[in-house]
Amino acid sequence: MENSRALKLLIGLGVALLILLGRLFYVQIVNDSYKTDASNNSMRRETIFPPRGVIYDRNGKLLVGNKMCYDIMVTPREVKAFDTLALAAVLDTTADFVREKMKHYRTYRSKIGYQTLTFLKQVSAETYLNFAEQQFRFPGFGSQLRSIREYPFNAGGNLLGYISEVDADYLANHPDYRAGDYYGRTGLEAAREEDLRGSKGWHIYLHDSRGRQKSPYRNGEADVDAVPGKDIVTTIDAYLQQYGQALMEGKKGSVVAIEPSTGEILAMVSSPGIDVDVLADFGRHYTRLSGNKHKPLYNRTVSASYPPGSVFKLVNGLIGMQDGVLKPSMEYPCHDGYTYTSSGRKLGCHSHRSPLNFEDAVMMSCNGYFCYVLKSILENPAYDNTGDAFRHWREMVMSFGFGHRLGSDFPSELSGNIPSAEFYDKRYGKGHWRFQTVVSLSIGQGEILTTPLQIANLAAIMANRGYYYIPHVVKASEGVEIDSRYYEKQYTLVDPKYFPSAVHGMWKAVNALGEGGTANVGHVPGLDICGKTGTAQNPHGADNSVFICFAPMDNPKIAVAAYIENAGFGASWACPIATLMVERYLDGSISEARKGLETRVLNSRLIR
């Protein structure tokens, strides 16, 4: 029995030994990956950084390209004693910079090990050539070629975004990146990082005992080619984007233009914004920009939430018609506003003729009319109580793309807010609120919050008479796909048959001259622009100026929303800016009759 156990033990040890020997043979003879590890003292892996994909506008205009630069690299373990002043002079930097770097490497020498680190980033060609001539004097130092971004066309820094070096937080969540890599931090650079980044390659070289490079390992058989990033074609019209930026100079707010028939974003202007001149070396400018009180880093087009103001009246009117509580022919009175309590509290309105039908109420942006409309929606006898009617109203509103993210391919999109019945139940008590409590929702005020992108999407819905395509900024192109949902129509819950009267009211607001339309300043003969003004109350200062429009009325080619903070009436600034964008896009230039308006907008500075 004991002999049998001993035999089994010997057999087990023998099998284990054979497995171990087989593994050693595989590692040392068959698989040489351990030999070629970058930490191997006799070999060095030289990383090849791929050129990042470039970015074009919809017409092939280059928005973001690449240019080559050099980083100065160092392997601290291989550095010998050197002349600090001489190295500083060669690299066009200071001796203190060199000393601080070397002090850091000594402090963290155990953690750094044999790693090669970036000593100085993005040196000029002149500095590189000077260093290359004298590199032999500084063992352990070398150079590395990489591409950096260049911007041949000013199409908006907030739109394009910037790249930056990965930090510890990013590395923790993206294990396929390494220290020293760059990634898209904001804008299109971030939205299409996976396509733009490409993949790194490398050369492996043999070194002698003194660390001198001798020859490629295995004649380069173990080298890997870098794979360039994919080029991106955007939906942006570069010249329209640039024109929008010029119109918004000195103003705070957003302009968004959409092609209604596709949902493609033609322009996306956030102002004040980032100039493309700072993007290539953004880190140097970050502190200054982040400390600017006007927040140029903040992309207002998708990340700002505002009350939509009177442009929202279109939504309430359409819901009223869908619910059967409003007909376009119905007239309501307005005597400088709508009195909604027995004590005489009034939601005010500008002076105009009374009563009005639906189209004229849209044309004149009558507050009183739309108070009656929302009252009829929330007191609809088809519902048992105000809460149920309100839930229905909210569902209808959200079908217009409000109260949730639209699902754009642009990062940092907010959802805005459409208040719920539960919100008012909690605030006022269930059954203790009614239409009079939420009367401000009639005119797009109160707790309603929307983004400029959502407001522009409303303009596209009006243009399409009841549906939209999810707004997006990237077109499908060779090697780059976009999600199929961007090709799908998103229908509102309002039947298309109710839209023509609202659209005609918008047409009259711009083109029915002398009849009290609020947007006559936007009239351009022959373009049939349809628009709706808005003046949104702002608890932090002067009212915000809002305007949406599309053109032409039939077969629309462009829909625009302009939202200008603290700029007063919609007709004052938002309407001129939006309609100038439309005219420039459709006609290619501004007519002589409107040159004075263009000059006023271009030369005015509203930011204080």
pLDDT at 208: 61
* Nearest-angstrom CA–CA distance, 216 and 104: 32
Strand partners, 141: 74
Average pLDDT, the chain: 90
Q: In terms of residue numbers, what domain contains 76? A: 66-150
Query: What share of the chain has pLDDT > 90, as a percent?
Result: 66
**437-449 tens-digit pLDDT:** 999 999 999 999 9
pLDDT value of position 179? 79
pLDDT at 276: 84
Is residue 106 a part of any domain in this protein? yes
Structure confidence by residue, pLDDT tens digits, 264-302: 999 999 999 988 888 877 777 778 888 888 898 889 999
Strand partners of residue 165: 182
In a domain, 130, yes or no: yes
Q: Average pLDDT for residues 227-244, to the nearest whole number?
A: 96
In a domain, 109, yes or no: yes
Is the pLDDT confidence value at 604 over 70? yes
Tens of pLDDT, residue by residue over 22-45, are: 665 554 555 555 454 444 556 667
> What pLDDT, on a 0 to 100 scale, did the predictor assign at position 214?
59
Total tally of structural domains belonging to the chain: 1
Give pLDDT, residue 31: 53
The predicted model gives 202-222 an average pLDDT of 69
Are the C-beta atoms of 183 and 167 separated by less than 8 Å?
no
**Tokens at 427, concatenated:** 């605030």
Q: How confident is the model at residue 88 (pLDDT cuts 50, 70, 90)?
A: very high
∠ CA 83-84-90, rounded to 5°? 90
CATH classification at residue 128 = 3.90.1310.10
153 vs 151: CA distance, rounded Å = 6
Q: What is the pLDDT of residues 476-531, one digit of tens each?
A: 998 899 999 999 999 999 999 999 999 999 999 999 998 999 999 999 999 999 99
Question: Within a domain: residue 137?
Answer: yes
What's residue 45's pLDDT?
72
pLDDT attached to residue 67: 85
Count, residues in the chain: 608
What's the average model confidence in pLDDT over 240-262?
97
Q: How many CB atoms lie within 10 A of CB 311?
A: 30
96 in a structural domain: yes
The answer to the question of residue 225 being in a domain is no
Does residue 86 lie in a domain region?
yes
Looking at the predicted structure, is the pLDDT value of residue 212 above 60? no
CB 74 within 8 A of CB 239: no
What distance in Å separates the CA atoms of residue 186 and residue 161, rounded to the nearest whole number?
Answer: 5
Residue 529 lies in a domain: no
Asked if pLDDT for residue 218 goes beyond 80, the answer is: no
Q: What percent of the chain has pLDDT over 70?
A: 92
> Does the global pTM surpass 0.95?
no
Given a cut of 70, whether residue 128 has pLDDT beyond it is yes
Query: 42 is written with which tokens?
Result: 């006799």
Q: Which of 185-194, 393-402, 522-531 has the lowest mean pLDDT?
A: 185-194
